[in-house]
Amino acid sequence: MKILMVAPEPFFQPRGTPFSVFHRTKALSKFGYKIDILTYHVGQDVRIPNTRIIRNRKVPFIRKIKLGPSIKKIIVDFFLFMKGFSLLKKGNYNYIHVHEEAGFLGIFYKKFTGLPMIYDMHSSIPEQMVNFNFSTRPAAIKIMTWVEKKIIQNADVVIGICPNLAETVHSIDPPKKTYVIENTPMVEDLKRVSETERKKFKKTWGLKGVKVILYTGTLEIYQGIELMIDSVPYVVKKYPDVKFVLVGGSPPQIEKLKKMVKAKNVEDSVVITGQRPFEEMSKFMAVADILLSPRQIGTNTPLKIYSYLKSGKPIVATNLLTHTQVLNDEVSVLTDPSPEAFGSGILKLLKNPSMGKRLGTAGRSLMKKDYSYEKYLEKTKAVYEYIENT
């Protein structure tokens, strides 16, 4: 059985949705499906069994595509749309599997071919408009809400990456068959780090003899980075021997972050690494004492949360739906989304190491129980079994 998978993003790049596309494809290949991934001209080729990566035509003036909605994406999506039709004309596919806004392209592909359409919903499209500060105009939000509604109504089955997205689907189309498949496979790539490696890594980053408070991920506006930086003075005032280590971000975002850190006069307490190879994430987790997720906007569960849980380290996160779909008080410290409250949450763990150990152990157990790779494979297989039997 052959799948045309349409991924409207730079594939592959080490960030949220490309990771999800990679692991979804890898899982389907394990079940014997052959997959053609139609994606942007931008991105790194990766090897996945039974899979071809097919890129749309190059757009000369577009070499980079940032996260979230953009004019560049709209332009490239047009060429992606046309390329998809040329592939479908060959008539070799059994299913159309579309990610994100490619669901709108999938409506036309489905009408053209009559093939079943699987919609992989990574976020709510109108919510993305706000989260990435692309547009808050009522007319634009109304149009994107209509687009999302049409995608869901035309899909044969929907995959949501968190429970809230499933609720969004059912608020639009109550009987729509929907599966929640969390973005957990990336944690399988986290490796065990020896004590010798851990000590060497701490020395490399100047972290010897300090408590390490770690944030990993993008530096987009919705991540709550400003809240986190504003919380630093509350912590270092009582615990000067701590280092906040921030991993991720593009060069312009890092420059902005450095200005924020300087304005708070906490340069000596913050280490900004920029983007680092994914292979180093295991080491950063290993040297961390506390893990942070200060997100303030949105409802999707951050991808990092599953890695955090597997690490067995205590987590401080904002007490918002984006986190509470997975986290609770038994596996994390949840705080109000304010600098004072977030800083107090960090201080609580610094004062009480035994509490941190208890939370970390409980978090690792939760990850093993509810979010294992085996469960991910079972859920992915169930989607296609449903399609095959309807």
Q: What does the pLDDT look like over 19-45, one tens digit per residue?
A: 999 999 999 999 999 999 999 999 999
CA angle 273, 275, 281 (to 5 degrees): 85
Residue 376 CA to residue 383 CA, distance in Å, equals 11
Q: Using alpha carbons, select from 186, 217, 221, 183 the residue that is nearest to residue 298.
A: 221
- Fold classification of 187-370 is Rossmann fold (3.40.50)
> What's the Rg (C-alpha) of the chain?
21
Provide the pLDDT for residue 307: 94
Query: Mean pLDDT throughout 351-368?
Result: 97
Sheet containing strand 157-160, edge to edge, reads 51-55, 34-39, 2-7, 95-99, 117-121, 157-160, 178-180
Q: What is the pLDDT of residue 22?
A: 96
- 2-184+372-388, superfamily in CATH? Glycogen Phosphorylase B; (3.40.50.2000)
pLDDT in tens, 330-341: 999 999 999 999
Rounded CA gap, 351 and 316, in Å? 14
Strand stretches in 248-331, DSSP E = 270-274, 290-293, 315-318
pTM: 0.90
Reported as half-sphere exposure (CB side, CA atoms, 13 A), residue 345 has a value of: 28
Edge-first strand order for the sheet with 315-318 is 270-274, 242-247, 211-216, 290-293, 315-318, 333-335
Specify the domain boundaries for CATH 3.40.50.2000 within the chain: 2-184+372-388, 187-370
